[in-house]
Amino acid sequence: MAAAVLVVLMPACSGSPPPESAAPPPEPEQGLQRVTVGADDSTAAIPGSPDALYRFRFRQVDPASDRFVFQDRELSFYFRPTPDALHFQVENRQDRPVWIQWERSTFIDPNGSTGKIAHSTTQWDDRFKTQADTQIPGLQRYSDYVLPLDYLLDPAGKPDQMHRPLLPEDRSAPQYSDRSFGVDLTFIVDGKPINYPFRFRVASVIAR
């Protein structure tokens, strides 16, 4: 009789869910797994990849500017944020050289992490090396792009600069609306370090 009762109860027990079931892990952010080679700038009104599901609009919030510009007595800046990197141009307004100190400059990514900066000539093998300063001669302009050094990826022996994008352009893109990122660029001017902080915000994420 006891054996019969056990046989009847076993199917019911095996089919019941456990009292505490673990929640399924979140889906990976596929857009951030996309590999980018370099960071080509674009003259399009809304920057992004041709096959992007979403497009981003950005705003410069500090120093605030509708045209992504800032200038003082020494330097003049123009920025162009894109999903892949932050492009910029800086003009030396005085007739003597200045230097960008990459080692003392930092990047704040859209997740709020702060770390070292990479620019167009930074390679995977440079992650633990001291990056040389870049000189901007007097009354000259210099163009480049920057991204977090931690975003660089191993190119597997190739000479390309491979990295993760700043922002995804797939279905996960809307969750980045209103996020902020930026750079603290350090310059040597007249022999003294000067820090130039710039912050940007994702103003909107637009479906194509």
pLDDT digits (tens, 9 = 90+) for 154-188: 999 999 999 999 999 999 999 999 999 999 999 99
Share above pLDDT 90 across residues of the chain, in percent, rounded to a whole number: 75
Residue ranges with strand state E in the chain:
36-37, 54-62, 64-65, 69-71, 75-81, 86-92, 98-108, 114-119, 134-136, 141-148, 152-153, 162-163, 180-189, 192-207
Nearest residue to 107 via CA among 129, 88, 91, 132: 88
pLDDT of residue 40: 66
- Using the predicted structure, report yes or no on whether residue 35 has a pLDDT greater than 90: no
Of residues 41 and 117, more confidently modeled: 117
Domain count, the chain: 1
- Using the predicted structure, report yes or no on whether residue 8 has a pLDDT greater than 80: no
| Cβ atoms of 102 and 133 closer than 8 Å | yes
Distance CA 168, CA 133 (A): 31
Nearest residue to 160 via CA among 124, 119, 116, 117: 124
pLDDT of residue 197: 98
What single-letter DSSP state applies at residue 123?
Answer: -
Partners of 108 in beta bridges: 114, 182
Residue 19 domain flag: no
Residue 8 domain flag: no
Residue 24 domain flag: no
Categorize the per-residue pLDDT at 49 as very low, low, confident or very high, splitting at 50, 70 and 90: confident
Long-range contacts of 25-32 (CB under 8 A, 24+ apart): 29/168, 29/172, 30/168, 30/170, 30/171, 30/172, 31/165, 31/167, 31/168, 31/169, 31/170, 31/171, 31/172, 31/173, 32/164, 32/165, 32/168, 32/172
pLDDT of residue 4: 43
pLDDT of residue 37: 74
Distance CA 166, CA 156 (A): 21
Partners of 136 in beta bridges: 98
Residue 154 domain flag: yes
Q: How much is the average pLDDT of 74-86?
A: 97
- Using the predicted structure, report yes or no on whether residue 13 has a pLDDT greater than 90: no
Residue 165 domain flag: yes
| C-alpha distance across the termini of the chain, in Å | 68
What's this model's pTM, rounded to 2 decimal places? 0.81
- Using the predicted structure, report yes or no on whether residue 144 has a pLDDT greater than 80: yes
- Using the predicted structure, report yes or no on whether residue 20 has a pLDDT greater than 70: no
Nearest residue to 85 via CA among 41, 126, 46: 41
- Using the predicted structure, report yes or no on whether residue 3 has a pLDDT greater than 60: no
Distance CA 107, CA 114 (A): 6
Lowest mean pLDDT among 38-47, 55-64, 118-127, 140-149: 38-47
Tell how many helices (H) and how many strands (E) occur in the chain.
Answer: 1, 14
| Cβ atoms of 32 and 164 closer than 8 Å | yes
Of residues 43 and 5, more confidently modeled: 43
Give the residue numbers spanning the domain of 65.
31-207
Categorize the per-residue pLDDT at 143 as very low, low, confident or very high, splitting at 50, 70 and 90: very high
Distance CA 118, CA 129 (A): 12
